Amino acid sequence: MADKKKIILDVDPGHDDAVAILLAAKNEKLDLKGITVVAGNQTLEKTLQNTLNVCSFAGLNDIPIFAGMAKPLVREQVIADDIHGDSGLDGPQFPKSTLKEEDKHAVDFIIEECLAAEDGITLIPTGPLTNIAMALIREPKIKENIDEIVLMGGSYTLGNTTPAAEFNIYVDGEAAKVVFESGLDITMVGLDLTHQAKAYPEIVERIAEIDNDVSNLVVELLKFFGYTYNRVFDFDAPPLHDVCAVAGVIDKDVFTSRKMRVDIETDSELNYGRTVCDFYGVVDKEANAEVALDLNKELFWDLLIEALKKY
């Protein structure tokens, strides 16, 4: 797999995380070394079970799955059951998973895999950054082999969990601070980008036309996700946030970006978890992240449809 890009996908399924897994597992440019799971949309017990269920249903039996951090580094736990339901993946009924998680902890896997990746590795976190931060804290040497971290999280405008903060950052602001201050190449795929990836009926129709078990599962996931996004945010279609981060690693043309300074607010009650983005370069601080701006919708949806056809 010399020309493939080694990746670790760190998830908190979550409807959009589930679709991100399905894309990452089938794209020929990616070498998915493992899936690490973190508490986020639901408790770790549920995000882990959801990961096992999705991978088992999709026949992804050769990708190791690791349970990670069950709580944020410092603050109290927050979940998103209003969006993803009590199971964290409400909507479809999954047959009992045939898969089990590895005995190794996710943070140990991330550390070992990064230290071994002498030709580089990309981390794609699509949930709170607790696992990634713990790996960086415990073994800073992993930075030498990490090419980049492409994360779904943050926003340079409005939040979705508070007026200031996006969910993944809000759940663990201290972990996000560790990642954004790591000195690594960071690409922040925030709400300003991911809200352009709404699965409108014509997209759902394209997915339904594939008509295999996995594409039909995605249609069911989007139905529930669309219902909750309409009820909570009055959205006319559900945004596939996490899929954008994976697609951006597959093809850099999926979105444009601008390098800027991003700091994480962790002291303010009102603004905790805000990604404070110096969009106009008005402060004299070193830019530390590429922030995703505009989505190439046609390329994005083609990548997902192409992957779903391979199941």
Task: Identify what 263 binds: Ca ion, ligand RIB, none; CB under 5 to 8 Å per kind.
Answer: none
Q: Per CB under 6 A, does 101 bind ligand RIB?
A: no
Per the annotation, the verdict on 12 as an active-site residue is yes
By CB under 6 A, the residues from 161 to 180 that bind ligand RIB are 166-168
Binding site for Ca ion (CB under 5 A): 12, 14, 17, 126-127, 242
Who's near 20: CB < 8 A, 6+ residues apart?
A: 9, 11, 124, 126, 152, 240, 242, 243, 245, 246
Q: CB under 6 A: which stretch of 10-18, 24-32, 64-72, 253-261 binds ligand RIB?
A: 10-18
Residue 238 CB, shortest distance to Ca ion, in Å, is: 13
Contact 214, 57 (CB under 8 A): yes
Residue 230 CB, shortest distance to Ca ion, in Å, is: 19
Q: Per CB under 6 A, does 228 bind ligand RIB?
A: no
In single-letter form, the type of residue at position 154 comes to G
Residue 40 CB, shortest distance to ligand RIB, in Å, is: 5
What does residue 262 show for φ and ψ, rounded to 5 degrees? -125, 120
Task: Identify what 160 binds: Ca ion, ligand RIB, none; CB under 5 to 8 Å per kind.
Answer: ligand RIB
Residue 17 CB, shortest distance to Ca ion, in Å, is: 4
CB nearer to ligand RIB: pick between 109 and 225? 225
Torsion, Cα 162 168 172 175, to 10 degrees, reads -140
Task: Determine the 3-state secondary structure of 130 from DSSP.
Answer: helix
Of 46, 79, 258, 76, nearest to 173 by C-alpha is 76
Task: Determine the 3-state secondary structure of 135 from DSSP.
Answer: helix
Residue 258, CA distances (Å) to 48, 102, 198, 293 in order: 34, 38, 22, 7
Distance in angstroms (rounded) separating the CA atoms of residues 19 and 242: 8
- Binder of ligand RIB out of 34, 72, 92, 127 (CB under 6 A): 127
CB nearer to ligand RIB: pick between 117 and 273? 273
CB nearer to Ca ion: pick between 117 and 273? 273
Strands 5-11 and 30-37: what pairing? Answer: parallel
Among 12, 16, 192, 263, the one annotated catalytic: 12
In the block, tokens 């249609």 appear at 219
Q: Per CB under 6 A, does 46 bind ligand RIB?
A: no
Active-site residue list: 12
